[in-house]
Amino acid sequence: MVRLTLDLIAKKSNLKPRKEETTLQYLKKITHINFSAKNIDAIEDLSLCKNLSVLYLYDNCISQITNLNYATNLTHLYLQNNCISCIENLGSLKKLEKLYLGGNYIAVIEGLEGLEGLRELHVESQRLPLGEKLLFDPRTLHSLAKSLSILNISNNNINDVRDLAILENLNQLIAVDNQLLHVKDLECLLNKLMKLWKMDLNRNPVCLKPKYRDRLILVSKSLEFLDGKEIKNMERQFLMNWKASKDAKKISKKRNSKNEDISNSHISNFETMHHIVPVYYPQVGKPKLVFFSDTQRYLANGNASPESSQEDNPKIIEDMGNLSMKESESLLTKNDVCELHLLHNSKVKENMFVKNQ
């Protein structure tokens, strides 16, 4: 195994020092170091590389992130495909913009507090124990809320991404080959991520759900690419029109149902509150019950025909005045109730007029 030291950097660097330059002067002006696939297993002190901005250490055997505290000008760090199990010792890299940690053994995304300039985080394909999934420390998510714009979490057995809603400036999310199941969870996420324009969820179970693509396009106005396929204006406009039509039908159906319920309620209330309407005549103190429909005249007169029953109206009216309340109710129709109610109101007004005279 090989340790990354200043001597190794000085010997292997493509940038050759001038004759009059010392090793110290030479190391200070180095901006890029590439030691990928060199069997590096540890990082020595790189504090003399004051201007180091890009460090390539992917495809090595590094198990711990160490001795980068003083590389304060570092902007890009490539550590994918190593043996790293914990994100640590990066808090002083205030200028770090891109961090590549894919293909390691990291189980929790943590230790990134204070990296306020981090724009890209790549943690795809962690080599996790069977059945485990990649987790996110809320403190780290909170610290990256305003800066992070690109996040790659593919192939990590993740089944829920709602916690990512805090990343308000995220514009690209790559979460291929996970275990995302619910379209509703994605709708909740997209409602919060107002700047997201690219999302790739290929090979997740949720992609097989009915109307999966349509629903996500409708909920996000900013999304331009979904699962590698461009969302064209014509597609979005068609879906918006379809949804508007569907919503209008729902509202109309609901309104009609409500009106029907109100109508039924009025009829029911009238039947329960106004079964019998006694009519008082000024000249007679006794309440009389009056029928108006031919049908009820026929019923009240036994087997007599509607025509013959008209001749016996006075007798029927008199007899019905002596019926019990229950018996009277059984003979009234809805039309009778309405007519009696109107007649009652008319007589009340007539009485009031007579009294006032």
- Of the candidates 113, 110, 76, which has an alpha carbon nearest to the alpha carbon of residue 92? 113
As a residue count, the chain comes to 357
Q: Identify the structural domains of the chain with CATH numbers, from first to last.
A: 2-241 (3.80.10.10)
Mean pLDDT of 176-190: 97
More confident residue, 169 or 247: 169
The pLDDT value recorded for residue 281 is 47
Helix axes 233-273, 334-356, angle to 10 degrees: 60
By C-alpha distance, which of 72, 60, 75 is closest to 8? Answer: 60
> How does strand 150-152 pair with strand 120-122?
parallel
Give residue 170's pLDDT: 98
At 36-75, the pLDDT tens digits run 999 999 999 888 998 999 999 999 999 999 999 889 999 9
Residue pair 96/120 in contact (Cβ under 8 Å)? The answer is no
Predicted confidence at residue 342, as pLDDT, reads 52
Contact 143, 118 (CB under 8 A): no
| Average pLDDT across the chain, whole number | 81
Work out whether the CA dihedral 213, 218, 220, 222 comes out positive or negative.
positive
Which structure tokens are listed for 185?
A: 């969870």
Q: Which helix (H) or strand (E) covers residue 42, if one does?
A: strand 40-43
Residue with tokens 């003979």: 331
- Rounded to an integer, what distance in angstroms lies between the CA atom of residue 344 and that of residue 276? 11
| Closest among 248, 172, 184 to 216, alpha carbons compared | 184
Residue 325 pLDDT greater than 50, yes or no: no
Q: Is the pLDDT of residue 197 over 60?
A: yes
